[in-house]
Amino acid sequence: MPIPGNLLTTAMAVMPHTDVDLALDAAMSLDIPFWPQLPRRNYYEDMYVQAAEHFPGIVLDVENRKLSFSMDRFMEEAEDVMVRFDDPSVFDVSEDYSAVYHRFLEMDLADRPAVRGQLEGPVSFGFNVADENDRPILFDDSVRPFMFEFMARRVNVQLQRLKEKNENAFMYVDEPGLQFLFSAMSGYGDMQAKADMEMFFSLIDRPRGVHLCGNPDWDFLLNLDIEILSLDVYTNAEVFGSYAPAIKRFLERGGVLSWGLVPTNVEPFEKESADSLENLLESFWSGLYARGVDREQLLAQSLLSPATCCLINPDIEKTVEKGFATVKNLSEKLRHKYGLP
């Protein structure tokens, strides 16, 4: 299994740090490190802006931290980008858009059980980037197919670079917008959305998965052809637990679940303890075992992580780093308890 389990640790990529070294130290403190995204450092490190690099039609206003789209520019620039579709530099993250990514690639990562990268997914990107008429580009039939293929190539280029550093590299497609995907207000048809997502993942090299902190159509995600699903179980345990049959099928076909357990916002973090979080998770797992999920399989195909990213704490990065340490401590305690390697 290229993606390890056994309750090893990883985390989501968006972090509140402005110091590259401190951010990398935090990321490297976990079993499966990743390259952090640091939007507080500068606007280029925003996850949507990083995904937008070289995308035709993008209008980037760094000073006012605004990302938008021009259809006129798209028509002018799309052909040039398509001519260069076989050029990896068009789809990679440049140093201007992430100093952290390139520092990460300079590190010795071969001895880690795996490493991970990430890219904002096409649904969330398409929901959040709007044209001159304030219409999300996800709804534009002339832009959407190009966007899905463009983002798939971005994922593949990054994954290839990470695999050169560690053969067990994998990718998260960050999709917070999926919680709105099937709502009546989304303006994006249910059948079209499912077909687009299935097509998108068919274009992406393995191993690949989805990360989100919201509450989407879990049945759809658990049946999507992905190797890993990362979620906020701290907030969504009750709803997610109702999908036990789909969770069981996901695990039986080899899927890995990354349980986002430790809150990183100051208030919920301070009201919890390692014991209370352990009890929450094991109580949730017990409910799954009672509905037919195999305990040994679940443990072997699980990771632990923080529950969410957080950029708004008054102490900036301190609680986030405490959250990372708590994840690590819980992992060590549970792996010892269950005799995991």
pLDDT at residue 180, rounded to an integer: 75
* Tens-place pLDDT, residues 319-341: 999 999 999 999 999 999 999 99
Structural domain total, the chain: 1
What spatial distance separates the first Cα and last Cα of the chain, rounded to whole Å? 14
Tell whether 330 is covered by a domain: yes
The whole-angstrom separation of Cα 98 and Cα 165 is 18
Tell whether 3 is covered by a domain: no
Mean predicted confidence (pLDDT) in 70-92: 97
The whole-angstrom separation of Cα 14 and Cα 215 is 19
**What is this structure's pTM?**
0.96
pLDDT at residue 9, rounded to an integer: 98
* Tens-place pLDDT, residues 135-190: 999 999 999 999 999 999 999 999 999 999 999 999 999 998 888 765 655 667 66
Do residues 201 and 224 touch, judged by C-beta distance below 8 A?
yes
Q: Is 165 helix (H, G, I), strand (E, B) or coil?
A: coil
Provide the 10 A C-beta neighbour count for residue 6: 17
Tell whether 2 is covered by a domain: no
Tell whether 139 is covered by a domain: yes
Q: What is the CATH number of the domain that holds 248?
A: 3.20.20.210
Mean predicted confidence (pLDDT) in 3-16: 97
The whole-angstrom separation of Cα 240 and Cα 284 is 10
Burial letters 264-290, b for 16+ CB under 10 A, else e: bbbebbeebeeeebbeebeebbeebee
Structural domain boundaries, residue 85: 8-338
At residue 133 the predicted structure's pLDDT band, cuts being 50, 70 and 90, is very high
pLDDT at residue 37, rounded to an integer: 98
Tell whether 135 is covered by a domain: yes
Q: Is the pLDDT score of 28 beyond 70?
A: yes
242 Rama class: left (phi>0) / alpha (psi -120 to 50) / beta: alpha
Q: Is the pLDDT score of 1 beyond 90?
A: no
The whole-angstrom separation of Cα 91 and Cα 156 is 9
